[in-house]
Chain A
Amino acid sequence: MPQDALFQTLLRLGDNTLVLGHRVSEWCGKAPVLEEDIALANTALDLIGQTQMWLGYAAEVESAGRSADDLAMLRDVWDFRNILMVERPNGDFGHTIMRQFLFDAWHRPLLAALAQSNDHRIAEIAAKAVKEATYHLERSAETVIALGDGTEQSHARMQDALTLLWPYVGEMFESDEVDAQMAATGVVPAPETLKDSWMQTVRATLIEATLAIPEDEFAHKGGRTGVRHTEHLGHMLTQMQWLQRAYPGANW
């Protein structure tokens, strides 16, 4: 059971970065301006790189002969453990940036805490990834402010994005017996302990962006447990896993 809880934990970490990394990569070649196109592609690349480390370790822990690639490309929707927010379609550029910001503001303190994990491998991966997440947060927060406190149109779109995404933020702080077990042994922080730091960043940034924080606390959930993903993940996988689905076992 402890090994299974560790495996689930690593899938949650790796699936978040995989699914968000894939979503962000969908902008490659069609972002509003070249600089943003490059920035989004670089962000996606960092996330996919982190995925290789998380899922690589997950595969070792599972010791069922699967690789990181197998986990990424050969699982179906119900086996994914990412939070629902990251599988949402990109929407417009503002929605993509708002989602990135809400994620980065959580990802950075999560990785900072994981860098102190009792699990040596987790601590190493997190210490590497937190540098990248810090940079991502800097950029997504700046962009949220620029667009929120921008034109009437950009402000309205950012507010819409925030309202749309808000019901998905609660899942980041949800916990179950897997978290309880891993937190008790000092492997991961208890999810709820990250909320204050997250809220502080979010509040400060959104105030500067002249955006109103929604008051509703309702939270969609089911992604990190795999109980109920949105319909969007399956559609995304048909693209992401297309090659393996069309040509099983293809290799190069």
Chain B
Amino acid sequence: MKPDVQTVWGWLDKVPDPEIPVISVVDLGIIRDVIWDGDTLEVAITPTYSGCPATSIINLDVETALRDHGVDKIRLKMQLSPPWTTDWLSAKGAAKLESYGIAPPSPAGGPSHCPRCRSSDLQKVSQFGSTPCKAHWRCLSCLEPFDYFKCI
């Protein structure tokens, strides 16, 4: 029995991103397509950053989740184009990031406010952070450092 693709999307929305487990791989916008090719389930995944070390773990986690739901024939396709953009981060994902303490991407090129105290008195510490997708900022009101999800 083949589950419909909407059901599969629902399963994948329960697969956490390995580095930011508060959001799912669907929230992150890296699952680009789910289709049935005959009796094989094909999932197209796009990397966030070229060298993101989480990519292979994500593939493994997606495959494991699908197998746990009884899908045996799985094909994971790496899809480069169009390249991933933070515009694909879901609204649900952005809200979860913020409550987790990571400022969500903002087109202004920096966080709009501190995810803890909501102050807008902020300072960039470094353009890079603990993962390729984040930068390091500091709030000058509550003095807490925080991660900002870079906008690309």
Contacts and interface: CB of A to CB of B under 8 A. Distances in A.
A125 B81 CA distance: 8
Given A127-B83, A128-B83, A135-B152, A46 B132 contact: yes
Contacts of A45: 49, 51-53, 132
A132 interface: yes
Interface in A110-132: 123-125, 127-129, 131-132
Interface string B48-62: 011111000000000
A132 B127 contact: no
B121 to A, nearest CB: 20
Contacts of A53: 50, 80
Given A45-B53, A132-B49, A127 B81 contact: yes
B82 interface: yes
A129 B152 CA distance: 11
Highest count of chain A CB atoms <10 Å: which of B81, B125, B150: B81
B130 interface: yes
Contacts of B126: 35-36, 38-39
Chain A interface size band reads 20 to 34
B83 A135 contact: no
Given A47-B51, A50-B50, A42 B128 contact: yes
Contact of B51 (A36, A50, A125): A50
Contacts of B47: 49, 128
A17 to B, nearest CB: 9
A15 to B, nearest CB: 16
Contacts of B150: 135
- Interface SS majority for chain B: loop
Chain A contact surface mostly:
helix
Contacts of A123: 81
A128 B81 CA distance: 8
A135 B127 contact: yes
A46 B55 CA distance: 13
Contact of A131 (B81, B127, B128, B152): B152
Interface string B117-133: 00000000111111010
A139 interface: yes
B50 to A, nearest CB: 3
B52 to A, nearest CB: 7
A92 interface: no
A251 to B, nearest CB: 15
Interface of B: 47, 49-53, 80-84, 125-130, 132, 136, 150, 152
Given A35-B128, A135-B150, 15 more contacts: A39-B128, A45-B52, A46-B49, A46-B132, A49-B51, A52-B50, A53-B50, A53-B80, A125-B80, A127-B82, A128-B81, A128-B84, A132-B49, A135-B127, A139-B127
Interface of A: 35-36, 38-39, 42-43, 45-50, 52-53, 123-125, 127-129, 131-132, 135, 138-139
9 contacts: A35-B126, A35-B136, A45-B49, A45-B53, A46-B49, A46-B132, A50-B51, A128-B50, A139-B128
